[in-house]
Structure 1
Amino acid sequence: MSERQSNPPDADNWQRRTILVVDDEAGMRSFLSRALEGKVGSVVTADSAEAGAALLEQRHFDLILLDVALPGASGMEWLKALRAAGNPADVILMTAFADMDTAIAALRSGAADFIVKPFRVDQMLNAIRRCFDRTRLTRENYLLRRELDKYTIHKHFIGESEAMKKVMALVARVAPMPSTVLVTGESGTGKEVVARELHRLSGRQGQFVPLNCGAMAPEIIESELFGHAKGAFTGAAGGRHGLFLYADGGTLFLDEISELPLPMQAKLLRVIEDRRIRPLGTEREIAVDVRIVAACNRNLANEVAAGRFRQDLFYRLDVVSVAIPPLRTRPEDIVPLAEHFSEQLSAQLGLPAVPLSPSLIRVLKGYDWPGNARELRNLVERALILGEYPVELLAHQADPAQANLPEEEREDAAMPADDGTLLESVERRHILQVLAAEGGNRVEAARRLGISRRTLDRKCLQWGLRP
C-alpha cells in the first residue's frame, strides 16, 4: 500500500477530496496514482478488498476506484458489503470484461459509475467529476431544503450600538480560528446571525449546517447528527448521511444546545475531541473536519450545577463565548434593524415600506422588546401587511405583554395580582411578557422561564387566563 499527497489549486476544489484505489495490478495502481496526483488531495492504494477494508477502518474516503476482479473477495462482493454496512462513499467499478449484465449488476449493487479497461485518463477524470458533482449537488439540495422554511437569509450584522460593535469585533477576531464558539443570549437576539457570520468570515469551504436541538426528538437526534446504516433501527429502510458529514469542511451550528439529552452530550464530546463520527448501525468511524458553534439562551453554568449539562462538554464548548445583549439594552439599534427588516420583507412580500415617524420611533425605543429582534421583525411584517404600524402597540405600552395576547384574555390579564404584593406583580408581568413574546406558546414560554409547563398553567389559571 502506498500514499501520495498533493495540494494543488483546483477550480472544483478537488484538493479536499480523498480517493482510494483498489486494484491487484501494480501497474494500474501506479497509473491511477500518477493520473490523479496534482488533482486531488490524497490518493491511497490497496491491492485487495481486505486491504481496502482495513484502510476504511482508519479514515474516510470520498471515492473508491474498485476493480471487479480481485483476489479473495471480488470487487462486486466488497461493494455489496460496503453498502450493507452503510458506507456512503461513491464507488466507480473497473473491469476488463464488460457486458450488459455486469454493468446492470454493478449499478444494482450501488456503484456510482462503471468504466471498462483499458481506459484513457480523461475518461476516468470525467467519471470522477460526475461523482463529485453529484455529491456536491446532493449536499446543496439537502441544505437548501432545510433552509426553505427560513423566511430570512441573514447576511451581516445590523447595529450601531457600542455593545454590538464589540460583538462584531469579537466575531471578526474569532472567526478564522478553528476553536469551538458558544453564543449566548435571550431568544430572538440573533444567535444564528452570529453563527452564520462566524462561518462567513472563517474562510471554511464547507457548508453552514444548522440544527435546533430543542426541535429534534431525542430518539432520532443521534441519527440526524451522525447518520445511520440500513436496518440500524426500525424504519431505517436505507442508509443516510448525518449532519456532521454534510458540514464536513464547514460549520455545524447547534442551537439550543442545553436541550441535548445527556447521552448525546457524551457522544458529542467524543466527536469534538476525536474529530471522528460513527453512524448508527456501523462499526466504522469516519474522520470529519467540522467547526462547532453552539448557542443557548440559558446559563449553561447553572445547567451544569443542576446536573442537566455535562461539565466537560461545557468547557469544550465554552472555548470562546460571544454574548449578545438584548434589544432593550441597545435602543440605538432598533431603527436600523426595523429599516433592514422593512427593506428585506418588502422585497419578499412585494409590498411598499411603511415609514417610521418620529413619534413611532420614540414608542419603539421606549418598548421593552421581550422577544428582541425577532419580535421587532414580526412587528415590521405586520405593519407591511396592514399598511401601517398596528395601533395596539401604542395601546398596550403600559403593559406590553398584552400586545400579543388574544383579545378575550387582555381584560383578564390586566387585573391586579391576587395578593397585591410587588413581587407577585413583577413575576406576573415578566411571565406575561415572555408568554407574549412566544405568541402564547406556553411550552416555549415555560422553557424560556426555566419552569415546568404545569407551573406556568397553574399561574395563568390564578390570573384567570384560559389555556
Structure 2
Amino acid sequence: MTMTSLAPAEPATDLTFSPHLAESSVLVVDDEPGMRNFLTRMLETRCRHVAEAADVASAARLLEATPFDLIILDNIMAGRTGLDWLKELRATGFYREVILITAFADLETAIEALRAGAADFVLKPFRSNQILNAIARCLERGRLSRENFVLKRALGTLPLAPSGPSTLVGESLSIHAVRAMVARVAPMPTTVLVTGESGTGKEVTARALHTASSRAAKPFVPVNCAAIAPEIIESELFGHLKGAFTGAASSREGLFFYAQGGTLFLDEVGELPLGLQAKLLRVIEDKKVRPVGAEREVPVDVRLVAATNCDLKEMVACGRFRQDLYYRLNVVNIDLAPLRERAADVAPLARLFMAELSAQLGVPPLELTPAVLRELARYPWPGNVRELRNVIERALILGDFPRDVVPAEDGEGEEAHSQALEAVEKHHMLKVLAEAGGNRAEAARRLGVSRKTLDRKLKAWHG
C-alpha cells in the first residue's frame, strides 16, 4: 500500500514558521518511544506546547488538564486501539482535530477512522514534511470551520453594518481614560466587566481588549445573551452531544469551543438564567466546560469579557443575579459614560460614521459644518453612539439631517420633512424587527433605542 494520507498530495513545504502551527498545542499518543521522540522533537520548536503519552489512559489524564488543539494518535497500541479511543472522545464531547497514524491499515480502516471523526489518516513510515503538512492542513481546516461558524452566526443575528465605530474614537477625558484602561488590562488574562447604557460602545471596548491582547490572532466571539432563548442558551455556549435533547440529531461544539484561545464576549450578561449563571461560574473557576449530555468536562482556554446595561448590584440584591458570579466577572470594571456626557466625542464620531456610511451606501457625504456639529453636540443622544450612527445613516438616505436633532434655520418645509422622516423611520424599524424575527428586545438593540421606545412606536403605528 502506498497511501500515506487521505488528504490530497501536496509538495514539500517548509512549515517551520507556520503561524497556525506556532500557536498550537499538540498531544502525541504512541506506544513506541522512538516515534514519540521523533514527533516531539520535530514539533517542540514549531509549536507553542507539545506533550506526549504512551497509552490512551495517560493521554486521557492530560486531556483533563490541557485544551489541546490537535492529537496525533497511533492506532495499534497495547491494550486499546487509537480508533476505539477516538470514538469514545467524540462521543463524550471532544471536538478538537485528531490525526490517526498507523503502520497497518487498509482502505476500510481509513474510512472507519474518518467516520469516527479523524481529520486525517497517515500511514507509517512518513517523512517530516508529510506529517507537518497534514498537521497544518488540519489546523487550518479547523480554524476556517470555526471562523465560518462564527461569521454565519453573526450574520444571522446582527445587522449587516457594524453597530458602532471600529475603534475607540473620541477626544473626551472619559474616552481617553477608557483607552488607557484597555491598554493596561488587555495583556492580562483577567475577566473584565464593561458597563454602560445601551449603545455606548461596550462591544467595541471588548473588541479593543481582544485586539490589544496576545489573543488577537485567535477568535473574538460575541454572544448577545438576551437574544438567545433560555432553553437553548446552555447548548449554544457549551455545546451538546447527539441525542442530548429532542432535536439534537448530531453533536455540536459550543461557543466556548469556537472561542478557544481567544475571547468570548457575553453581552447583556444580566439576562442569563440563574441556573446557567451557576454553570458559568464553574467554567470561570475550573476553566472546563461540560457539553449538554456529556459525562466529562473539557478544558478550555478562553478570555471572558462580559457587558451589561443593567445594575448588577441591584440585581444581586433582588436575587436575580448570583453574587459570587458578579464578583468573578467584576474583577476589572470599565464603565462607559453616555454620549451626552462626552460632547467632545460627537464630532470625531460623526466624521467617522459619515465617511464609513457614505462609502457603504454609495452616496456623497453631507457637509458637517461647524453649525451642524454644534447642534449634534447639543443633542442629548438617548441612544448614545448607536443612535448617532443611525442619525448619520438616515441623513445620508434623506439628504438632510432630521430636524429634531439639527433644527432648520427656518421653518419652511419642516412639517413635510418631519413626515418624510417619520415614514422612513417606521419603514426602517419594522424592517429591523422583521429581521430580528419579531424579537423586540433584539430589534431595539440593533436600532440603538430602548425597548420602551420601540414598544411606544409600534403602539402608535398599530394602535
8 Å Cα contact 1:393/1:403 also seen in 2: no
Structure 1 residues 386 and 58, CA gap change in structure 2 (3 angstroms): same
Residue 314 of structure 1 corresponds to 326
Partner AA of 1:151 in structure 2? A
1:202 to 192, 213, 235: 213
- Mapped partners of 1:178, 1:53: distance in 2: 26
Residue 85 of structure 2 corresponds to 78
- Mapped partners of 2:30, 2:398: distance in 1: 68
- Mapped partners of 1:90, 1:328: distance in 2: 49
**What does the per-residue CA deviation read over 1:394-448, in whole Å, with 9 as the maximum and x for residues that have no partner?**
579xxxxx999967x99xxxxxxxxxxxxxxxxxxxxxxxxxxxxx99757999x
**What does the per-residue CA deviation read over 1:344-385, in whole Å, with 9 as the maximum and x for residues that have no partner?**
111211111011234433332222211111111111001111
1:272 aligns with 2:284: yes
1:167 aligns with 2:178: yes
Task: Tell me the SS of whatever aligns to 1:159.
Answer: coil
- Mapped partners of 1:445, 1:350: distance in 2: 25
- Mapped partners of 1:248, 1:406: distance in 2: 45
Identity of aligned residues (%): 58
Partner AA of 1:76 in structure 2? L
Structure 1 residues 180 and 31, CA gap change in structure 2 (3 angstroms): same
1:156 aligns with 2:163: no
**What does the per-residue CA deviation read over 1:219-270, in whole Å, with 9 as the maximum and x for residues that have no partner?**
1111111122222222222222222222222211111111011111111111
1:357 aligns with 2:364: no
- Mapped partners of 2:188, 2:53: distance in 1: 36
- Mapped partners of 1:126, 1:40: distance in 2: 14
Residue 193 of structure 2 corresponds to 182
Structure 1 residues 218 and 329, CA gap change in structure 2 (3 angstroms): same
Report the more deviating stretch, 71-80 or 288-297: 71-80
Partner AA of 1:79 in structure 2? L
Structure 1 residues 11 and 70, CA gap change in structure 2 (3 angstroms): closer
Task: Tell me the SS of whatever aligns to 2:376.
Answer: helix
1:284 to 283, 296, 317: 296
- Mapped partners of 1:136, 1:72: distance in 2: 33
Q: Report the CA distance between 1:147 and its aligned residue.
A: 3.9
Q: Report the CA distance between 1:142 and its aligned residue.
A: 2.2
- Mapped partners of 2:49, 2:177: distance in 1: 41
- Mapped partners of 2:460, 2:100: distance in 1: 71
Q: Report the CA distance between 1:12 and its aligned residue.
A: 1.6
Structure 1 residues 177 and 20, CA gap change in structure 2 (3 angstroms): closer
- Mapped partners of 2:420, 2:443: distance in 1: 13
8 Å Cα contact 2:440/2:451 also seen in 1: no
1:372 aligns with 2:384: yes
1:348 aligns with 2:355: no
Residue 135 of structure 2 corresponds to 128
Structure 1 residues 168 and 311, CA gap change in structure 2 (3 angstroms): same
8 Å Cα contact 2:93/2:296 also seen in 1: no
1:48 aligns with 2:48: no
Residue 415 of structure 2 corresponds to none
Structure showing greater Rg = 1
Partner AA of 1:277 in structure 2? V
Residue 228 of structure 1 corresponds to 240
Q: Report the CA distance between 1:98 and its aligned residue.
A: 3.3
8 Å Cα contact 2:239/2:252 also seen in 1: yes
Superposed CA RMSD in Å reads 3.4
**What does the per-residue CA deviation read over 1:304-344, in whole Å, with 9 as the maximum and x for residues that have no partner?**
11111111111111111111111112222222111110101
**What does the per-residue CA deviation read over 1:46-89, in whole Å, with 9 as the maximum and x for residues that have no partner?**
33334433433343322222222222332222222222223212
8 Å Cα contact 1:257/1:294 also seen in 2: yes
Task: Tell me the SS of whatever aligns to 2:19.
Answer: coil
Residue 14 of structure 1 corresponds to 21
Aligned residue runs from structure 1 range 5-154, under 5 A = 10-148=17-155, 149=158, 150-152=160-162, 154=165
- Mapped partners of 1:375, 1:446: distance in 2: 11
- Mapped partners of 1:147, 1:14: distance in 2: 27
* Number of aligned residues: 422
- Mapped partners of 2:103, 2:334: distance in 1: 59
Task: Tell me the SS of whatever aligns to 1:202.
Answer: coil
Q: Report the CA distance between 1:290 and its aligned residue.
A: 1.6
Partner AA of 1:30 in structure 2? N
Residue 215 of structure 1 corresponds to 227
Residue 297 of structure 1 corresponds to 309
Q: Report the CA distance between 1:464 and its aligned residue.
A: 8.2
Q: Report the CA distance between 1:94 and its aligned residue.
A: 1.6
Aligned residue runs from structure 1 range 316-335, under 5 A = 316-335=328-347
Gaps of 5+ in 1: 1-8, 397-401, 411-439
8 Å Cα contact 1:277/1:285 also seen in 2: yes
Q: Which structure is higher in RCO with an 8 Å CA cutoff and minimum separation 6?
A: 2
Normalised TM-score (structure 2):
0.82
Partner AA of 1:132 in structure 2? L
Structure 1 residues 280 and 392, CA gap change in structure 2 (3 angstroms): same
Normalised TM-score (structure 1):
0.81
Structure 1 residues 49 and 162, CA gap change in structure 2 (3 angstroms): closer
- Mapped partners of 2:218, 2:241: distance in 1: 24
- Mapped partners of 1:99, 1:373: distance in 2: 61
